[in-house]
């Protein structure tokens, strides 16, 4: 009895996207599949995606990766939140992971808090977020709350070295049967009848054939763009920052369990503390700030001395018209780019890999599978785009860049969401929205967009009861955080016993 030939999946490009895809495919697909990665050491990777969101833990766990081993291998630290500094005049706030307060039956906590604000008995929103309180105190723990059962378990993510993560996943994938070919892609062979890819030609007169091709070639988009001719939607009208500079600095003494995004007069600057160094970068609009000015501002804003010269990156905010065309699926930067303001770059790779596994076409790439994939991918990026725009449009800064952001028309969905919040304090999570209503709440409130109303159910309890409830929640959070370990001690205890981290 003849044995069917294996289904060949070819991953074009390595880096974080390529090796996340290869590791997941080899982990979950059976013996009827082969996975091949084509990667060139001569081609650099962008490698600025060092901050993540909590879903990365699910990806690592699905691969059976030990978390402490991952922390050690990638020089990781823990992340509870993102701090936004200067996005409104002199202000700062956090978008923290996890719950804020506690809902009361059908009544979302935000309505109780809004009632408390009108009565003068509520603290700032941060007091009711366990993650926020812990982040500001530089504290960390894993697992259930220890001082009160009513408190949630703290969700967390990581800061890590993206290059080390790719190397870690490469070792994982190759140990399980992924075959890697070193070399550059010089040409693409397509089927003359239906236009699908047949093979990739590498330097040295090598030919790699495949049935499904994953384009992880970054901004070059060698397969989805150059070969398949898929166009690109330009979103710079809404997100005009088009350049970035990245530079590592010495290990931070202020070893925070959160990312910091600090606004400047033509964009923003990131700060990501790792065990061995700090990742820094500046994102800016080239219409409003020159490259030299951006470099000077970046270096002047470092906590510690730079370890290298700033590395430039040029990009165009937007996405591919479709991410799956023929037998090519774009992952990572080849599918589009959104600035890493909310640490979504690596998550977009993760969600795309999950989508590939769920909608894997087999030998017949059925149109309904492609259509579903492309619809889901488009919705996800558009929802994230709108969340990023929210940070920009709700500002009270005086610089030309920020006035333009404030005065520019918004996508319809975002405008409707802001109007709903202003009128009633209501937030509705839409299909495909990565961010929860609690995430939207923190940014809406943090950026100074005031709700003019709240749900009428919040008016039923007496003011004293509202005050007591809010006070109790804040005190429970403070008590829980007081017994947590300092972040630096926690990193030493979980995967990095020899790390030289300042307390």
Which of 79, 89, 358, 417 is an active site residue?
79
For the stretch 292-297, contacts whose Cβ atoms lie closer than 8 Å and that sit 24 or more positions apart, written own/partner, are 294/243, 294/245, 294/266, 295/245, 297/264, 297/269
Closest of 402, 59, 378 to residue 233, by C-alpha: 378
Q: Are 11 and 36 in contact, with CB atoms under 8 Å apart? A: yes
Closest CA to 159 of 281, 46, 59, 76: 76
Quick check: is 79 catalytic? yes
Measured between alpha carbons, how far is 131 from 258 in angstroms, rounded to an integer?
10
503 burial level (CB within 10 Å; 0-12, 13-18, 19+): exposed
Region label for 183, one of left (φ > 0), alpha (ψ between -120 and 50) or beta (otherwise): left
Cα dihedral 399, 400, 405, 407, rounded to 10, equals 110
Residues in the chain: 503
- Contact in structure between 145 and 480 (CB atoms under 8 Å): yes
> Is 339:388 a contact under the CB 8 Å cutoff?
yes
Residue 26 Cα to chain centre, angstroms = 24
Contacts of 301 (CB under 8 A, 6+ apart): 262, 269, 280, 282
- The three-point CA angle 205-211-217 to 5° equals 65
| Cβ–Cβ under 8 Å, residues 356 and 66 | no
Please give the Cα distance from 54 to 52 (Å, whole number): 7
Name 34's bridge partners: 8
Q: Are strands 336-337 and 318-320 parallel, antiparallel or unpaired?
A: antiparallel
| Residue 153, token pair as written in the block | 């378990």
478: which DSSP letter? H
What does DSSP say about strands 311-314 and 278-284: parallel, antiparallel, or unpaired?
A: unpaired
Q: Could you tell me if 173 and 19 are in contact, meaning their C-beta atoms sit under 8 angstroms apart?
A: yes
Q: Is the alpha carbon torsion for 164, 167, 173, 176 positive or negative?
A: negative
Q: Please, how many CA atoms are within 13 Å of residue 355, restricted to the half-sphere of its CB?
A: 25
How far apart are alpha carbons 376 and 161 in whole angstroms? 29
Active site residues: 79
């Amino acid at each position: 009895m003849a044995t069917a030939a294996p289904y060949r999946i070819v991953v074009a490009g390595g880096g974080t996207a390529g090796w996340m895809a290869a590791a997941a495919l080899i982990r979950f697909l059976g013996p009827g599949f082969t996975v091949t990665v084509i990667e060139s050491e001569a081609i650099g990777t962008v490698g600025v995606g060092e901050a993540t969101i909590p879903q990365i833990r699910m990806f690592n766990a699905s691969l059976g990766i030990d978390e402490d081993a991952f922390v050690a291998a990638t020089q990781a630290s823990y992340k509870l939140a993102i701090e936004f500094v200067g996005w409104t005049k002199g202000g700062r706030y956090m978008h923290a992971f996890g719950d804020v307060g506690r809902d009361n039956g059908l009544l979302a906590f935000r309505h109780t808090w809004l009632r408390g604000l009108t009565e003068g008995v509520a603290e700032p929103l941060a007091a009711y977020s366990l993650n926020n309180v812990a982040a500001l105190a530089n504290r960390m723990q894993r697992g259930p709350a220890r001082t009160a059962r009513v408190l949630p378990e703290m969700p967390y993510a990581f800061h890590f070295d993206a290059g080390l993560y790719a190397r870690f996943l490469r070792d994982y994938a190759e140990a399980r049967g992924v075959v890697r070919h070193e070399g550059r892609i010089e040409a693409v062979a397509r089927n003359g009848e239906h236009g699908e890819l047949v093979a990739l030609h590498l330097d040295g007169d090598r030919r790699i054939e495949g049935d499904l091709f994953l384009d992880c070639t970054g901004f070059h988009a060698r397969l989805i763009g150059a070969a398949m001719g898929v166009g690109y939607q330009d979103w710079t009208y809404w997100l005009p920052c088009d350049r970035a500079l990245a530079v590592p600095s010495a290990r931070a003494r202020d070893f925070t369990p959160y990312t910091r995004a600090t606004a400047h007069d033509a964009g923003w600057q990131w700060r990501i503390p790792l065990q061995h160094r700090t990742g820094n970068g500046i994102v800016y609009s080239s219409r409003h700030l020159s490259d030299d000015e951006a470099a000077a501002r970046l270096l002047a804003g470092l906590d510690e001395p730079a370890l290298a010269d700033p590395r430039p990156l040029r990009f165009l905010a937007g996405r591919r018209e479709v991410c799956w065309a023929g037998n090519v699926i774009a992952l990572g930067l080849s599918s589009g780019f959104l600035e890493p303001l909310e640490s979504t770059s690596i998550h977009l790779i993760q969600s795309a890999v999950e989508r590939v596994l769920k909608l894997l076409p087999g030998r017949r790439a059925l149109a309904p599978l492609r259509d579903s994939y492309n619809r889901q991918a488009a919705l996800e990026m558009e929802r994230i785009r709108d969340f990023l725009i929210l940070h920009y449009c709700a500002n009270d800064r005086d610089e030309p860049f920020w006035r333009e952001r404030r005065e520019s028309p918004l996508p319809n969905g975002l405008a409707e969401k802001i109007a709903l919040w202003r009128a009633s304090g209501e937030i509705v999570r839409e299909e495909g929205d990565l961010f929860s209503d609690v995430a939207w709440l923190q940014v809406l409130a943090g950026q100074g967009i005031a709700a003019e109303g709240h749900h009428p159910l919040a008016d039923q309890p007496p003011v004293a009861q509202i005050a007591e409830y809010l006070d109790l929640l804040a005190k429970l959070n403070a008590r829980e955080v007081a017994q947590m370990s300092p972040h630096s001690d926690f990193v030493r205890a979980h995967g990095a016993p020899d790390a030289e981290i300042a307390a």
